[in-house]
A and B are shown apart, each in its own frame.
Chain A
Amino acid sequence: MSNRIVIDPVTRIEGHLRIEAVVENGVVTDAFSAGTMVRGIEKILKGRDPRDAWAFTERVCGVCTTVHALASVRSVENALGITVPKNAELVRNLMFCAQYVQDHVVHFYHLHALDWVDVVSMLKANPVEAAKIAQSISPWEKNTPGHFAAVQSRLKKYVESGQLGIFANGYWGHKAYKLPPEVNLLAVSHYLDALEWQKELVKIHTIFGGKNPHPNYLVGGVPCSFNLEEVNAINTERLNHIGSLIKDAITFVEQVYIPDLLAIAGFYKDWATIGGGLQNYLAYGDLPTKGYGNVDSFLLPRGAILGRNLNEIHEVNGKNVEEIKEYISHSWYKYGAGDGVGLHPFAGETEFNYTGPKPPYEHLNVEGKYSWLKTPRWKEHPMEVGPLARMLVAYAKGNTDVKELVGAVLKKLDVPITVLFSTLGRTAARGVETQIVAHWMKNFYDELIANIKGGEMNTFTRDKWEPASWPATAEGVGMTEAPRGALAHWVRIKDGIIDNYQLVVPSTWNASPRDSKGQRSAYEEALIGTPVANPEQPVEILRTIHSFDPCLACAVHIYDPKGEQVHQVQFY
């Protein structure tokens, strides 16, 4: 029996995502992923001051806030030949690490956990037993019978009120939920702890960038100044504050997130064989230690893996016109040379061509065009991006921290490395990355203190600030890694203003529709073979989709409302 399931809205994500899946005999046999919202930010950037672009592009996404700003300032600095001071590199790295740790923890508890954790089941838990389990895996101070009993009592009153709020109509009691009540109680308790803690770590952004979400960045460095003789700058008190936040972050990750991840994963080992999807992985890398221009100095390395062959890492070049092409066979655009071709961004066209059904509609026409996302390909291959891709590339490139921790996790779960190619593997890779990045954050902090101690105070390179110092035309690429995967911005500056601006973002790689050859992108491919016990409650589909951490506002940007051809790069 075949049954077409529509999930729209997909919740607990950023943005507007729709999944249509064909289910036969309890298993997904085909799937279609559609982005259903568009804003047109690249078009809005045209003609503006390139020094302002970070603020515009940062508003592409408020969940992965900062990463678009970082990609943007790098693209402009790359175009103008600006190297930022060491202190600015360190501040940016600290903000990057803070974003990763906060975002990954929020993803695990608040966006993903309810796919694995049955909130209603925890009402039956024995808080004393729950505390015993919790204390056996972590010294976290709130893992006490009293605290768990209080949380349970609070949630019990909440449920009995009949007003279930965000937990209403969840798939509670579904047979796919496998955790014992005590582990569910532990997880819900930590859901609340994480919600309270996450607001703290982002204060690193607030101290350096003035606010979060959407802290301030600056072409040429960072906007904050250091001064150890002044209350009105980043001084010892501010640095102490950051040091405390980092210390607490490491504690939270090591005592709450990672133990919970391992405990929950232990009950869902079957998901290590589900949801693998594509066999190709792409990472641009980030966390430079000797300048953005020195890719070999990145702690998160750059590279591509094909066919899950970890013995060969392919080089990736953002400026090579042969590497990345975009297809629109199933996207609401059209190309002059026909819809079947793939165009490199520098030869790209964007012509809006909505051919979908007139709202309100029941189904999209998936034989034709069905998404606002274009379909990017690397050397014609569909690629998965995100924490799994980053950890695989780092592992294959021999990064010691990654090899050690991945090895330890696999040993703890008693599974081979091939389990990483799965829904569970994607979720585990995110945890591994969080722990590593939390420690790197501490290292960057120590280095910053040492730098200041050595008398280096500069945070900004001023020589190319004034547009009068710029060449008539310049082009640059700013590559980074959003928490969700590889992200790049391309800018072309002409006569001091933006002539063209393009973004290639992670959820476009992962969530795009199939290409002209019919090759599925990451979401669609990963859903094939996913079991669906009850099509009315497709929690299994959500597990795989959420394992990618979808971010749809990022993924859809541009179109031309008048149907004009735009002979410029339009790059997602």
Chain B
Amino acid sequence: MADSNESIWQVMQEKGYSRREFVQFCTFAATAAGLSSPAAAAVVEAFEKKQRPPVIWLHFQECTCCSESFIRASHPIVADVLLDALSLDYTETLQAASGHAAEKCLQDTLKTHVGKYILLVEGSVPIGADGVYCTIGGRTAEDILKEAAKGAAAVIAWGNCASYGCIQAAKPNPTNATPIHKLISNPVINVPGCPPIADVMVAVVTHILMFGRIPELDAQGRPKEFYGRRVHDTCYRRPYYDAGMFVEAFDDDKARKGYCLYKMGCRGPVTYNACSVTKWNGGTSYPIQSGHGCIGCSENGFWDNGPFYQHLPSFPGFGIESTADQIGTAVGIGAAVGVAAHAISTNLRKRQLIHEQPIEPTPTPEEGKVK
């Protein structure tokens, strides 16, 4: 295990790498990060000198699911992250000290590592009623956020709360819960999800440490690395969607065969996240694989995009058929009839390949055996 006080070069030396290989590694890292050769030299220097970067984790209006998700990381495991990769100087969930002693940890890092610490924020900030809806140590969330953001080298918004406001910002947003990017001038890396996937969270932090720069972001500030594709694009049930084979009711014959959950309200077609590739909890499963549609928890305003079990064409503005168009059917059809039309047209093309009837008869609803 790497000594926390060692540079990456020292770690590689211990593992038998040559200086030449180290420079190659750094060049690769810099290239991967899109840096030019002079910048690559700076990366070599940074990696040689690197101590564990100080990290501050603030908690505001949240449920701590992001922290809980973070400690579920499987590669690397969270103990390795905490002991080897970074120095988590302030986190209300895990730190030993409380009260003044905890606040001192925060203040020490803010003062001694100006411009060098990474700021992680879990939770939205209520700006209603002068901030009395969330105070810590007698100070408002907004006050603490702004102070901590000033000297941050990078700011990461964990989860849907810090990225978009999440549940407390759902209508009627009683506390005026606000995402952090609206309150500070720093560029913010949004890592949405309720919560985000553990290994994605760790990857976003280690991306910065490993490559010496923040990941490429999309227009919404999300790392393209994990939020560049819709759950639908890489869903393993996608062939059923294309073939028009849908679950019609929970636990029906089609559910038991793992057909597409689109008609059960699945938001996979409009949700950008890594669930269907990275999956959850060490690759164990993800919502669709376990029989429930995606509720779109990484999307802005998803709580007000319900009801969750009503399928997409019932809602104006979803544009689901643009999806159908993209996959090649390209028929100009109205949203309400889109699914069936798409299913039939796709199946006409594919029936020979899949040897299955496109539209199966709906079975009579079977009652659960009740004990």
Across the interface, do A212 and B307 meet the contact criterion of CB distance under 8 Å? Answer: no
Across the interface, do A170 and B96 meet the contact criterion of CB distance under 8 Å? Answer: yes
Q: A40-B168, A459-B368 are in contact. Are A52 and B87 (CB under 8 A)?
A: no
Across the interface, do A9 and B92 meet the contact criterion of CB distance under 8 Å? Answer: yes
List 10 extra interface pairs beyond A170-B97, A220-B368, CB under 8 A. A12-B95, A43-B172, A49-B306, A163-B87, A199-B281, A210-B286, A227-B256, A354-B132, A460-B368, A462-B250
Question: A17 to chain B: closest CB distance in Å?
Answer: 10
- Does A232 belong to the interface (CB within 8 Å)? yes
Across the interface, do B308 and A461 meet the contact criterion of CB distance under 8 Å? Answer: no
Instruction: Considering the complex, give the chain A residue whose CB is closest to the CB of B63.
Output: A62
Question: When each residue 89-127 of chain A gets 1 if its CB lies under 8 Å from chain B and 0 otherwise, what string results?
Answer: 100000000000000001000100010000100000000
- Does A453 belong to the interface (CB within 8 Å)? no
Question: B95 to chain A: closest CB distance in Å?
Answer: 5
- Does B73 belong to the interface (CB within 8 Å)? yes
One of A355-363, A419-427, A486-494 contacting the partner: A355-363
Residue of B131, B170, B297, B303 most packed against chain A (CB within 10 A): B170
Across the interface, do A165 and B136 meet the contact criterion of CB distance under 8 Å? Answer: no
Across the interface, do A465 and B249 meet the contact criterion of CB distance under 8 Å? Answer: yes
- Does B3 belong to the interface (CB within 8 Å)? yes
Question: A367 to chain B: closest CB distance in Å?
Answer: 17
Across the interface, do B93 and A12 meet the contact criterion of CB distance under 8 Å? Answer: yes
- Does A565 belong to the interface (CB within 8 Å)? no
Across the interface, do A210 and B68 meet the contact criterion of CB distance under 8 Å? Answer: no
Q: A207-B285, A210-B292, A360-B140 are in contact. Are A43 and B369 (CB under 8 A)?
A: no
Question: When each residue 319-342 of chain B gets 1 if its CB lies under 8 Å from chain A and 0 otherwise, what string results?
Answer: 000000000000000000000000
- Does A15 belong to the interface (CB within 8 Å)? yes
- Does A318 belong to the interface (CB within 8 Å)? no
- Does B344 belong to the interface (CB within 8 Å)? no
Across the interface, do A459 and B306 meet the contact criterion of CB distance under 8 Å? Answer: no
Residue of B63, B100, B172 most packed against chain A (CB within 10 A): B63
Instruction: Considering the complex, give the chain B residue whose CB is closest to the CB of A457.
Output: B256
Question: B315 to chain A: closest CB distance in Å?
Answer: 13
Instruction: Considering the complex, give the chain B residue whose CB is closest to the CB of A110.
Output: B94
Query: Which of A87, A218, A290, A354 makes the CB contact (< 8 A) with B250?
Result: A218
Across the interface, do A224 and B290 meet the contact criterion of CB distance under 8 Å? Answer: yes
B interface residues, Cβ below 8 angstroms from A: 1, 3-5, 51-52, 54, 59-69, 71-74, 77-79, 82-83, 86-89, 91-105, 108, 126, 128-140, 143, 166-168, 170-175, 177, 194-195, 197-198, 237, 249-251, 255-258, 275, 280-282, 284-292, 295, 297, 303, 306-309, 365-371
One of A152-160, A266-274, A383-391 contacting the partner: A152-160
Query: Which of A48, A61, A360 makes the CB contact (< 8 A) with B143?
Result: A360
Across the interface, do A196 and B79 meet the contact criterion of CB distance under 8 Å? Answer: yes
Count CB-based A-B contacts (< 8 Å).
363
Instruction: Considering the complex, give the chain B residue whose CB is closest to the CB of A562.
Output: B174
Q: A36-B134, A359-B140 are in contact. Are A225 and B65 (CB under 8 A)?
A: no
Q: A9-B137, A49-B306, A225-B291 are in contact. Are A195 and B95 (CB under 8 A)?
A: no
Instruction: Considering the complex, give the chain B residue whose CB is closest to the CB of A194.
Output: B79
Complex Cα spacing A382 to B295, Å: 39
- Does A75 belong to the interface (CB within 8 Å)? no
Across the interface, do A211 and B280 meet the contact criterion of CB distance under 8 Å? Answer: yes
- Does A246 belong to the interface (CB within 8 Å)? no
- Does A559 belong to the interface (CB within 8 Å)? yes
Complex Cα spacing A170 to B371, Å: 53
Question: B131 to chain A: closest CB distance in Å?
Answer: 6
Complex Cα spacing A150 to B100, Å: 33
Across the interface, do B72 and A360 meet the contact criterion of CB distance under 8 Å? Answer: no
Question: B237 to chain A: closest CB distance in Å?
Answer: 8
Complex Cα spacing A211 to B100, Å: 36
Q: Is the interface of B mostly helix, strand, loop or mixed?
A: loop
A interface residues, Cβ below 8 angstroms from B: 5-16, 36-41, 43-44, 48-49, 51-52, 55-56, 59-63, 65, 83-89, 106, 110, 114, 119, 154-155, 157-158, 160-161, 163-171, 192, 195-196, 198-199, 202-203, 205-216, 218, 220-221, 223-227, 230-233, 241, 290-291, 354, 356-362, 372, 456-463, 465, 536-538, 542, 553, 559-561
Q: A169-B102, A192-B79 are in contact. Are A459 and B251 (CB under 8 A)?
A: yes
Query: Which of B101, B128, B167 makes the CB contact (< 8 A) with A59?
Result: B167
Across the interface, do B99 and A12 meet the contact criterion of CB distance under 8 Å? Answer: no
- Could you list 19 examples of A-B contacts with CB < 8 Å? A9-B102, A9-B103, A12-B93, A44-B170, A44-B172, A52-B306, A61-B64, A165-B87, A170-B96, A196-B77, A199-B198, A206-B285, A211-B285, A232-B237, A232-B257, A233-B258, A356-B132, A463-B365, A553-B63
Question: A572 to chain B: closest CB distance in Å?
Answer: 15
Name the A residues within 8 Å of B77 (CB-CB). Answer: 195-196, 199
Instruction: Considering the complex, give the chain A residue whose CB is closest to the CB of B280.
Output: A211
Question: A424 to chain B: closest CB distance in Å?
Answer: 20
Across the interface, do A11 and B97 meet the contact criterion of CB distance under 8 Å? Answer: yes
Complex Cα spacing A60 to B167, Å: 9
Complex Cα spacing A459 to B280, Å: 23
Name the B residues within 8 Å of A192 (CB-CB). Answer: 79
Name the B residues within 8 Å of A202 (CB-CB). Answer: 72, 281
Name the B residues within 8 Å of A354 (CB-CB). Answer: 129, 132
Name the A residues within 8 Å of B94 (CB-CB). Answer: 11-12, 110, 166
Across the interface, do A206 and B290 meet the contact criterion of CB distance under 8 Å? Answer: yes
Name the B residues within 8 Å of A5 (CB-CB). Answer: 99
Across the interface, do A212 and B281 meet the contact criterion of CB distance under 8 Å? Answer: yes
Residue of A65, A195, A225, A536 most packed against chain B (CB within 10 A): A225
Query: Which of A10, A165, A457 makes the CB contact (< 8 A) with B99?
Result: A10
Name the A residues within 8 Å of B83 (CB-CB). Answer: 154-155, 158, 165
Query: Which of B60, B102, B257, B370 makes the CB contact (< 8 A) with A461?
Result: B370
Complex Cα spacing A4 to B66, Å: 34
Q: A196-B79, A230-B256 are in contact. Are A207 and B99 (CB under 8 A)?
A: no
Across the interface, do B286 and A14 meet the contact criterion of CB distance under 8 Å? Answer: no
Question: A280 to chain B: closest CB distance in Å?
Answer: 28
Across the interface, do A49 and B308 meet the contact criterion of CB distance under 8 Å? Answer: yes
Residue of A16, A119, A462 most packed against chain B (CB within 10 A): A16
Across the interface, do B101 and A463 meet the contact criterion of CB distance under 8 Å? Answer: no
Across the interface, do A37 and B95 meet the contact criterion of CB distance under 8 Å? Answer: no
Question: B252 to chain A: closest CB distance in Å?
Answer: 8
Query: Which of B66, B174, B288, B289 makes the CB contact (< 8 A) with A43?
Result: B174
Across the interface, do A8 and B68 meet the contact criterion of CB distance under 8 Å? Answer: no
Complex Cα spacing A354 to B72, Å: 38
Across the interface, do A7 and B98 meet the contact criterion of CB distance under 8 Å? Answer: yes
